[in-house]
Chain A
């Protein structure tokens, strides 16, 4: 899912004006907002300026690229709803400015602002905000009605979008007749019908029950992929943020405390607050293979032959090793096969490589690779589309990542219980090299680890 979303978004990145840009936004409610902004800028805290007003948003800056799902996440009172309302000018900022597709919302006249809202930004509301006296169809067509589109045309387009959100058969119903999930689909349809390329979604799924919410999230991702809109999504639910967001801004007490990809936030929280926040996240649905993989140390080039493989196995005290050719993964070689090959005098590694090794892509979510990790005898190999080996995920690393414990697996390179190395390998090596190695030497080498 993530890879597919990132594709078109990245292409657009290269061009252009950001879809939405917020520059040093402040919003203070109360008696003396300007004074509060001045003092906040000078470094005073939110609590210190309460005599001048309540600071809802403090010095928020961010850019949202076209085609991106940008999530603003925070608990209630963190200022996220205030931020989203400044983006389309429903609330004027106390200081700072907002650019939408390069147009300045903050300084726009009221008619310019209406034009921006009609053409560029539409909004989906937490409690749906449908017009109760209009049918579902007319609600969905509302934005077009404001734009001055004729009745037949706007109804046709609204019907199209209603089909897309799965409400084609309820077009003539009144909003009261629908369940919460259906009503929010109408809200979404209304925003999509407007044809604007930016969608502001204010806690859009928070009023829905969990099953419907998950369904809506999936549908939103699907729609976004299909329609390529820029979405700014407000939520207090971290799992929702992690599921939807290409990037997430975490807010606390009016400030953006971290702005990054879901993985960055999860694996590298900016402070204790974020760290504590992400503790309960369903990590398997957020972390990708590339976020948890480790450098592939247990590799041997095919050209090094059976002997090379044996050397690695021995020095690393491992039971299996990945065979590489031109940095591409060929397969995995296990110790028993190596020993058999050595015994039968075979030198070509290619003959004994098991090419059916389990691989995963770098963008695969952990939830999707757990099963393969359980079944595989060796660590999962993370390869890109050219089968280049990017890293490996030993089972212990996977478990550590899911359990949010620091992964200190460096000291345990054992990826498969090795057979008795000393007993099996030493005589073989001696035989091959023709040098007499004492058992003492072998034991000393084994003790290096």
Chain B
């Protein structure tokens, strides 16, 4: 083994150098756009008094699921205010929302494509494995090279890390749609686009929403790592606490992350069960009631 070494690292460096030289303008553009979007959202969340934001999020929770979640959301956010992490939490929320939105915007179309084409699926799968298992810190290095320090490289790393479940669950959901129903679409002469819109996406929605939920959760788990490259927010607070060995600050910022995570998880998973699933459970109840009413359901043959 003496002297033999695969110069994989050097190759990657070379690739990164070439990318930096040739596509620098593109990365700059991406950095600018992401930066602007992030800052706008951050401004939107931080400008109004905290109770306005809390009221809005509680209302969202109410709409998505109900009163209990609304109360829980409000109480949780008040705790964040109470431990003086509100501004950092809003920074983090903005970062998570932007990164998740972009990850979802990429992963759902890719998932659809993979579901419709086995070859795409075969190519995408190992790429997803790579993205999901490569230690997240590793993305930070080229991200810093391409995008400098701040929220943007944090978001890029977050997006790459969070893509996989969105793609996987979208593909799984669409492939899991009852083949006979899709066949029915074909048999009545529907175009593939219409079948996607009217049959596959609506029926795969619970699975796709589970993917969205996972994307958001993974994004949140990246905030600390993003904090290391100067993304600020709760991640920045935690990094600061590590530097000062400040248990109290670390815990306060940490519990704020937990509260945000629980809130986002409950709201998005409630949205996933919305529509189809909710209507089904309602239908079940109705049918049970009908069965209980006896054999009224038997209809006369002579139509």
A is bound by B: yes
Interface positions of A (Cβ within 8 A of B): 88, 90, 113-118, 121-123, 125-127, 129-133, 142-143, 146-147, 163-167, 174, 176-179, 182, 190, 194, 200, 215, 218-219, 222-223
Partner of B189, one of A114, A130, A176, A200: A114
Interface positions of B (Cβ within 8 A of A): 178, 180-181, 183-184, 186-191, 194, 198-199, 202-203, 275-276, 279-280, 283-284, 286-287, 290, 297, 299-301, 303
Decide if B299 touches A166 in the complex (CB within 8 Å): yes
Decide if A125 touches B180 in the complex (CB within 8 Å): yes
Decide if B284 touches A176 in the complex (CB within 8 Å): yes
Contacts of B300 in A (CB 8 A): 166
Decide if B184 touches A125 in the complex (CB within 8 Å): yes
User: CA A133 – CA B204 in complex, angstroms?
Assistant: 11
User: CA A113 – CA B190 in complex, angstroms?
Assistant: 10
User: CA A278 – CA B41 in complex, angstroms?
Assistant: 74
Per CB-CB distance, the 7 closest pairs between chain A and chain B, nearest first, are A118-B189, A117-B189, A176-B283, A129-B184, A123-B187, A129-B180, A114-B189
Contacts of B183 in A (CB 8 A): 90, 123, 125, 129
User: CA A218 – CA B187 in complex, angstroms?
Assistant: 25
Decide if B303 touches A164 in the complex (CB within 8 Å): yes
Decide if B276 touches A133 in the complex (CB within 8 Å): yes
User: CA A125 – CA B276 in complex, angstroms?
Assistant: 22
With A118-B189, A166-B301: A129-B287 Cβ-Cβ less than 8 Å: no
Return the chain B residue nearest A121 by Cβ. Answer: B187
Name 14 extra pairs, CB < 8 A, besides A117-B186, A146-B188, A166-B301: A113-B189, A114-B190, A117-B187, A117-B188, A129-B180, A130-B184, A132-B280, A165-B303, A166-B300, A176-B279, A176-B280, A177-B283, A194-B188, A218-B301
User: CA A218 – CA B303 in complex, angstroms?
Assistant: 11
Contacts of A219 in B (CB 8 A): 301, 303
- From residue A27, how far is it (CB to closest CB) to chain B in Å? 16
User: CA A117 – CA B189 in complex, angstroms?
Assistant: 5
- From residue A98, how far is it (CB to closest CB) to chain B in Å? 14
Return the chain B residue nearest A214 by Cβ. Answer: B301
- From residue A159, how far is it (CB to closest CB) to chain B in Å? 13
30 cross-chain CB contacts under 8 A? A88-B187, A90-B183, A90-B186, A114-B189, A114-B191, A115-B189, A117-B188, A118-B189, A123-B183, A123-B184, A123-B187, A125-B180, A126-B180, A133-B202, A146-B189, A146-B190, A147-B189, A163-B303, A164-B303, A166-B301, A166-B303, A174-B280, A176-B279, A176-B284, A176-B287, A177-B283, A177-B286, A177-B290, A200-B187, A223-B303
